[in-house]
Chains A and B, each alone.
Chain A
Amino acid sequence: MATTVIMPKLGLTMTEGTIERWLKKEGDRVQKGEPLVEIITEKINFQYESPASGILKKILRYEGEVVPVATPIAIIAEEGEDLTEMEGIMPEIQAEPTAPPLIHKETKAGSSERILASPLAKKMAKEKGIDLRTLRGSGPRGRIVQADVLKAIERLKEKEVPSPPPVQPPSGRLLPLKGIRKIMAKRMAESFQNIPHFYLSIEVEMSALQELRERLKEEIERRLNIRITMTDLLVKITASALKDHPILNSKFEGDQIRLMEEINIGVAIALEEGLIVPVIHQADRKSLREISLALRDLTQRAREGKLSLEDVEGGTFTLSNMGMLGIDQFNPIINPPQCSILGVGKTVEKPVVKGREIVIRPMAWLTLSSDHRIVDGATAAQFLNDLKRLIEEPVLLLI
């Protein structure tokens, strides 16, 4: 009995996945449970294991293609098994028109693809040898019309333009843009292009927080042998501050804003293959200890590339602490569809005016990047000030 391999839905919000790499070729024998294909979702990349044993008869979707979940991507069958009844599913495979983000390898002839395109568009594409499947239709009902083909022709032309011969062979090593970095690149670009960012910075005194941390230190380290980090504390504080400012704990959905019930704080972690943002779910309901443990565990697994989808899903606010990297102040890019991201700089001893005299205090810059479509300056400023108060007088957390 042949098995259809589909694009797995790896978690609640996943609607489509990119086929990063096939780990088997057509004709290879595969065992149930052995890695078959590498799939990238917007969150992570993921090795999908073969749902059945047999021979990989047909690969229906190719590397680089973005495929809606539950769409067949391959067929696994036994030697000499009749696939005609499988052919049946192939047209319907293509039911909804999919448009890969980049021109992919020439697909084999015979894969019948129903494409909505005007007669004129079809004629022109044929003449210019353009594969309509590589185009996204801009006409009614996603129909590919003359204009789309003309654009494609333009793109081709640009490619054809021969670049002037370089004086010397181009220096520098080529790094393939792949995996998490590729996704990140795409999403950061989208975020920065589409979201009207605005930035508010405020300088906060860290002495109270440092004291608190010192006090908790021996206590907790002794008992649970873990260190409470500044980040742990900031997560806790940010979470409780967000409770009073639900608007910043929201999601932009085209023509509406969704206020999120849970406060899930994502914490940006830099890995060499790219930035990853594991999420501490319901941070507001968690004790400092729980937060600390969770964050430690996530960081650990992130480094080992063992994060599950749940670990990276559902963030409603992101915290990016670059203090340990010696950065004073920076403007982080929002992690869509979230509303805001908080950038925390390094704490430095510096002279500040207290009352009438100049004193030395540990100070740090907080910068809040927000989506102006959701919040305006005043709202964000209030949040930032409350945050400042909590950091400078952590006892307020008890209220």
Chain B
Amino acid sequence: MNFRELTNTEAMVEALKEEMTRDPSIFIIGEDLVAHGGIFGQFIGLPEAFPGRVIDTPISETCIVGAGLGAALTGMRPFVDLHFADFTTCAMDEIVNQVAKIRYMFGGQAKIPIVIWAPDGAGLSAAAHHSQSLEAWFIHTPGLKVVSPCFPYDVKGLIKTSIRSDDPIIFFMHKKIFSRKGPVPEEEYVIPLGKADIKHPGTDVTIITYSIMVLHALEVAKEMEKEGIRVEVLDLRTLWPMDWEKIAESVTKTHRVIIAHEACLTCGFGAEISARIQEELFDELDAPIFRVGAYRVPIPFSPPLERFVIPGKESLKKTLYNLFGKEIDSK
């Protein structure tokens, strides 16, 4: 395969272009798509390339999602942009009561090929209404599939798979990774849902993580090599379905686990993974399972406050030291 460097945004646009060319039933609906190419520019070029298939709406989240659902029920493949994951709350009834339940409720008559794309995450001083990581809500909701990749290669492959999926997908992307570059093959490819990926092999401890925390985990893994701790970084990529096999494989190898996400610790996805590990792999554990997550407070605006609330490289390192009972160096 011939690789070239693309940003996450470019990878996403490319994925949408390819899919929309392949399948005329795909259309994009959301706010500020035509004039703006999307609030973060992930749709730049698409309105021109596919006139009439990129639809600007007034600010009506409830109806944007609901409309996507109706279209999905009647033979279309909508790709819904919600601007910010925080705005899923304006359409919670549509997502939780309609999109997630209709197929089941109607005895499997319907298929709902909808992708709800929601940029999430903090770190941009966007304050309490534009910074949340809400994946746990949707992992908790039967009927939804949840994706949250971090690298351009994964973003492109998973966007394509999500669009082709006949089930509703909540697709999260961290706002901070949009402009991050990474290698993407020129050839067409897709990545199956529910497959995790080892981003850094190790033997002493596994950091199970996803989205932006993968980047922090990789930095920590490098630093720890100097200290003789070989960290394995497991990027889930798809949160639901969860790649339990990969997790079990890695835990059985390293016997030590840290689960890290930017969402707040309490009832975060880490709690679920951790519970499953101790239930099924108790005898493999050589240390307690540690979790890394944000404080249970809304994301504050001021940079020092925000940095304090959300977990990063340092909290990961501290947790590692904690796990190995090392002294935390006071610098």
Contact = CB atoms under 8 A, between A and B. Distances in A.
Interface string B275-304: 000000011111100000000000000000
B284 to A, nearest CB: 6
Contacts of A146: 255, 286
A140 B284 CA distance: 17
B287 A139 contact: yes
Given A139-B287, A146-B286, 17 more contacts: A118-B285, A118-B287, A119-B283, A119-B284, A119-B285, A120-B255, A120-B285, A120-B286, A121-B286, A122-B283, A123-B283, A139-B286, A139-B325, A140-B287, A141-B325, A145-B287, A146-B255
B54 to A, nearest CB: 54
A123 B322 CA distance: 23
Complex A-B, nearest 10 residue pairs according to Cβ-Cβ distance, in ascending order: A140-B325, A120-B286, A123-B283, A118-B286, A146-B286, A119-B285, A119-B283, A119-B282, A145-B286, A120-B255
A119 B323 CA distance: 15
Contacts of A143: 325
Nearest to A140: B325
Contacts of A119: 282-286
A120 B325 contact: no
Interface residues of B, number: 11
A46 to B, nearest CB: 37
A259 B322 CA distance: 36
B5 to A, nearest CB: 41
B203 to A, nearest CB: 12
Interface string B112-129: 000000000000000000
Interface of B: 255, 282-287, 322-325
A139 B288 CA distance: 11
A319 to B, nearest CB: 40
A87 to B, nearest CB: 29
Contacts of A140: 287, 322-325
21 contacts: A118-B285, A118-B286, A118-B287, A119-B282, A119-B284, A119-B285, A120-B255, A120-B283, A120-B285, A120-B286, A121-B286, A122-B283, A123-B283, A139-B286, A139-B287, A139-B325, A140-B323, A140-B324, A140-B325, A146-B255, A146-B286
Contacts of A120: 255, 283-286
Interface in A86-129: 118-123
Interface in A122-169: 122-123, 139-141, 143, 145-146
Contacts of B324: 140
Contacts of A145: 286-287
B33 to A, nearest CB: 52
A146 B253 CA distance: 12
A120 B285 CA distance: 5
A66 B307 CA distance: 50
A143 B322 CA distance: 13
A143 B287 CA distance: 9
Contacts of B255: 120, 146
Contacts of B285: 118-120
In the complex, which of the residues A119, A143, A146 has the most CB atoms of chain B within 10 Å of its own CB atom? A119
B83 to A, nearest CB: 45
A124 to B, nearest CB: 9
Nearest to A146: B286
A123 B324 CA distance: 20
A97 to B, nearest CB: 15
A145 B204 CA distance: 13
Contacts of B323: 140
A75 B20 CA distance: 84
A85 to B, nearest CB: 35
B144 to A, nearest CB: 34
A336 B255 CA distance: 41
Nearest to A141: B325
Contacts of B286: 118-121, 139, 145-146
Nearest to B326: A140
In the complex, which of the residues B255, B286, B322, B325 has the most CB atoms of chain A within 10 Å of its own CB atom? B286
Contacts of A139: 286-287, 325
B251 to A, nearest CB: 10
A51 to B, nearest CB: 40
Nearest to B283: A123
A139 B325 CA distance: 6
A119 B252 CA distance: 12
In the complex, which of the residues B282, B284, B325 has the most CB atoms of chain A within 10 Å of its own CB atom? B325
Contacts of B325: 139-141, 143
A123 B286 CA distance: 10
B290 to A, nearest CB: 11
A122 B287 CA distance: 12
Contacts of B287: 118, 139-140, 145
Contacts of A141: 325
A235 B250 CA distance: 67
A119 B286 CA distance: 6
Nearest to A147: B286
Contacts of A123: 283
A377 B162 CA distance: 75
